[in-house]
Structure 1
Amino acid sequence: MESIGQNFGLTAEDWTALALTFRLCLYTTIILMIFATPLAWWLANGRSLSRTAVQAVVALPLVLPPTVLGFYLLIALGPRGIIGGTMETLGLQHFAFTFEGILIGSVIYSMPFAVQPLEHAFSNLGKRPVEVAASLGAGAMDRLFSVIIPMARRGFVVAITLTFAHTMGEFGVVLMVGGNIPGVTHVLSTTIYGYTESMQYAAAGRLSLLLLIGAFVVLFLVYWLNRSFEMARP
């Protein structure tokens, strides 16, 4: 790994940050796909006033500065917060400045990038295909995997790729909740910040280029898959 890192101009610490970033992106995406799918289905098919309130809450990370969200999460997850304080009372470690803490922050901050594409896909899908499948005896899980996911696959592709890419570039929330602890919360974005702060611009430039290429590849994949789905339509 060190020889590969030298070929790319990356240090062992950079590779550790890269691996931690990938793990954060992967876990965030998996968790959000599990929780965002039923939430997006309810939002797409609900008609109550509470639906509008939930939509507003889900979209908050789009307009709130990351430091604001990170501050409140730090207070809640820290030793004196509701969540962190309760955990310490139970003899457990609080989540502030831990990988679990930045994972919670990433899940909340990337929520709209998972929920909104799925909600849009479910709205276009409508209830009719699911109702037909139910009338034919398909159970809830059968309807999900044989009807909803295949017919809304475009929304799932967009949600997965955008969630992964957005998490990859997160900075404010991660820094506020997790700090910049090597091997624990030291992801690519905070590594770039550390290099820039210490005026190591060449090292910061290499990692920035890596993130730029990664973001381009993800977005290219989204547009390419969307075009493929459009061409595959009868």
Structure 2
Amino acid sequence: MSSSDEWLALYTTIKLAGLTTLILLLLGTPLAWYMSKIQSRYKVFLEAIVALPLVLPPTVLGFYLLVIFSPTSTPGKWWLDTTGYSLAFSFTGILIGSVIYSLPFVVQPLQKAFEQLGDHVLEAGAMLSANSMDRFFTLVLPMTKASFITAASLGFAHTVGEFGVVLMIGGNIPGETRVLSIALFDHVEALNYSTAHWLAACLLIGSMVLLALIYLLNFNHERNIKYRMEP
């Protein structure tokens, strides 16, 4: 990655993945908590909506978001009138798209962790006169820490690897919407395979390292639980 364009694409990618992960943790945690507690039969429809980006082609999601972000649509026109710039082909636009596209990668691990935790921990905290916020931060959060790290890591890694959604919504604007995956595509189209190999290797190695850290964390967490349960 020798040219300034590639370093700028790296910066945009890390910025996008970092902000997406932060937003998903803030929004996804209460959503995952709610989904782990509701007993209504409509829960399956909510779970299906959250999981939809897992099976929906990225270009389909990107196309509909592009239509919504367009200045001719009501949301897009409101944003343009309020901020003075369009959501389409902007960093804010690809950020919103990334949050939606990576939503299940953060919500689902947290939901499973909350469901496995059960209600007995919260009931014990309630008996000690702890309010709901105290119980979450002093009991639930420490006991599900590994799941939060896994969710954040998956959300970050999935955003780094995005292509279709980002390209449909943001195009290829250096310093604004051009991320590493799009830069890689550009170099392949231009038959510049040396730089393409370098970018692909960076994405591959980074993904492998991140996944290895997730599995190592989960292995150590399960081993610690097993050790505590042994007499």
- Displacement of 1:139: 2.1
User: Residues 156 and 91 from structure 1, CA distance in 2 versus in 1: closer, same or farther, beyond 3 angstroms?
Assistant: closer
| Separation (CA, whole Å) in 2 of partners of 1:144 and 1:10 | 47
Q: Tell me if structure 2 keeps the 8 A contact 1:44–1:122.
A: yes
Q: After the TM superposition, which parts of structure 1 deviate over 4 Å for at least 4 consecutive aligned residues?
A: none
Which of these residues, 55, 58, 63, is aligned with residue 50 of structure 2? 58
Q: Does 1:217 pair with 2:225?
A: no
Q: 1:47 aligns with which of 1, 26, 39?
A: 39
Q: Secondary structure at the match of 1:49?
A: coil
Residue of structure 1 equivalent to 2:218: 226
**Residue 198 (1) aligns with residue 190 (2):** yes
Alpha-carbon distance in 2 for matches of 1:91, 1:160: 30
Contact map agreement 2:62 2:166 (CA 8 A) in 1: yes
How many residue pairs align between the two structures? 226
* Residue 136 of structure 2 is aligned to residue 168 of structure 1: no
Output one character per residue of 1:110-134: Cα deviation in whole Å (capped at 9) or x when no partner.
0000000001101100122112212
For 2:180, the equivalent position in structure 1 comes to 188
CA distance in 1, matches of 2:81, 2:155: 34
Partner residue in 2 for 1:80? 72
2:151 to 159, 169, 174: 159
> Which runs of 5 or more structure 2 residues have no equivalent in the other structure?
none
Residue 25 of structure 2 is aligned to residue 27 of structure 1: no
Q: TM (normalized to structure 2)?
A: 0.94
* Aligned equivalent of 1:3: none
Contact map agreement 2:89 2:170 (CA 8 A) in 1: yes
What TM-score results when the alignment is normalised by the length of structure 1?
0.93
CA distance in 2, matches of 1:221, 1:167: 17
* Paired letter, 2:165: V
Question: How large is the RMSD of aligned CA atoms in angstroms?
Answer: 1.2
1:68 aligns to what? 60
Opposite residue 76 of structure 2, the aligned amino acid is G
Task: Encode CA deviations 1:65-115: one digit per residue, 9 max, x unaligned.
Answer: 000000000111121123111223446322111111110000000000000
**Aligned 8 A contact 2:80 2:87 in 1:** no
